[in-house]
Amino acid sequence: MIKVENLNKVFKTKTKEVIGLKEVSLDIKKGEIFGIVGYSGAGKSTLIRCLNILERPTSGHIYIDDVDLLSLSSKELREARQSIGMIFQGFYLVASKTVFDNVAFALKAAGVKSVHKRKERVTELLDLVGLADKANEYPAQLSGGQRQRVSIARALANNPKVLLCDEATSALDPTTTKSILALLKRINREFGITIVLITHEMEVVKEICHRCAVMQDGEIVEEGQTYDMFAEPENELTKKFIQTVLDFELPQKLLSECEGVILRLQFRGGIASDAVVSDMLQAFSVRGNILHGKVEYIGDAPLGIFIFELVGEEEEVNKAIAYLEERVFVEVIQDARH
């Protein structure tokens, strides 16, 4: 659906050249929610702005449904953009227009001349985003979450195939963020709209993205199914992002009192975690203490995480670790034996 091939963007300033994107390639499937995550300056905004040619890449290709966006004339590009909606962190609503008129404006701009048709569509959209009762209010009278709902209604006005979300929830509190993400999920499910979102919050990716990519210094450093990225991240930066969601802070006092090996065990959904641990405890002469444990849901799929201390003779402990490593993901986080 969206194919990005070897995209490069170099910003030329008076004194230097800044690399915005470096050989970025992506293949985003129809109906997918795809997340792009990275720290500030990683190139996320540049990439998402390139997807509707708000920013012209220096080289490379962008295809949406096999149409090469960079080969289009200005008129053709304007038409192609009708099928790409976009929402932003700052909402960009027109302060002097009512909620109704902010949404109707997108229809007018797209050439919908009939007042009746515009009214019908705006009413439908405001219903969809839960703002039917706010049609005559002005942006200043709305909360941040409500403003983002208006901008979602506006972005969907002309039935786009793709919705680009540029840090759409970064200015919102956690509860409002959840409600906006739930709305995006619903839009994706009910209308099959492909959603590409950029964010610096892994929590957002965990909540709604089917697949995601991690960016650093203009490059994609890792890409995959969101669940796999959480369960078995490979890149160091991905691991850091994952930790922001899955990390357990154990009290320093507890760590210093532990005499054995502290392991972090990760169980993919479907594996009976307690059975693996109790079988291990029966098979080897070791003692085990669970220090922490919980099940995180990545989308709807469970990922179990336990912090576990193993105490015993060195050889038995090593055998027990090897036994666990054959069955689940194991990370040694402290070894007080050495």
In the bound state with ligand ATP, the residue whose beta carbon lies nearer, of 41 and 130, is 41
In the bound state with ligand ATP, the residue whose beta carbon lies nearer, of 50 and 298, is 50
Residue 326 to residue 276: CA distance in whole angstroms: 10
In the bound state with ligand ATP, the residue whose beta carbon lies nearer, of 146 and 199, is 199
The residues, ordered by sequence, that sit 6+ positions from 84 with a Cβ below 8 Å of its Cβ are 51, 52, 64, 160, 161, 162, 163, 164
CB of 219 to ligand ATP, least distance (A): 11
Which of 44, 134, 149, 210 is close enough to bind ligand ATP by CB under 6 A? Answer: 44
Q: Is 43 in the site for ligand ATP (CB under 6 A)?
A: yes
> Quick one: which segment of 36-44, 186-194, 299-307, 327-335 binds ligand ATP (CB under 6 A)?
36-44
Q: Is 35 in the site for ligand ATP (CB under 6 A)?
A: no
The residues, ordered by sequence, that sit 6+ positions from 82 with a Cβ below 8 Å of its Cβ are 110, 158, 160
Q: Is 57 in the site for ligand ATP (CB under 6 A)?
A: no
Binding residue count for ligand ATP, defined by CB under 6 A? 13
Q: Is 46 in the site for ligand ATP (CB under 6 A)?
A: yes
CB of 51 to ligand ATP, least distance (A): 12
In the bound state with ligand ATP, the residue whose beta carbon lies nearer, of 45 and 194, is 45
Dihedral of the alpha carbons of 29, 145, 241, 58, in degrees to the nearest 10: 50
Q: Is 109 in the site for ligand ATP (CB under 6 A)?
A: no
Q: Evaluate whether 308 touches 265 at the Cβ level (below 8 Å).
A: yes
Cα dihedral sign, 6-11-16-19: negative
Which of 6, 18, 114, 141 is close enough to bind ligand ATP by CB under 6 A? Answer: 18
CB of 18 to ligand ATP, least distance (A): 4
Q: Is 20 in the site for ligand ATP (CB under 6 A)?
A: yes
Q: Evaluate whether 296 touches 246 at the Cβ level (below 8 Å).
A: yes
Q: Which of residues 183-212 bind ligand ATP (CB under 6 A)?
A: 200
Which of 5, 27, 31, 41 is close enough to bind ligand ATP by CB under 6 A? Answer: 41
Using CB under 6 A as the criterion, which residues of the chain lie in contact with ligand ATP when the complex forms?
11, 13, 18, 20, 38, 40-46, 200
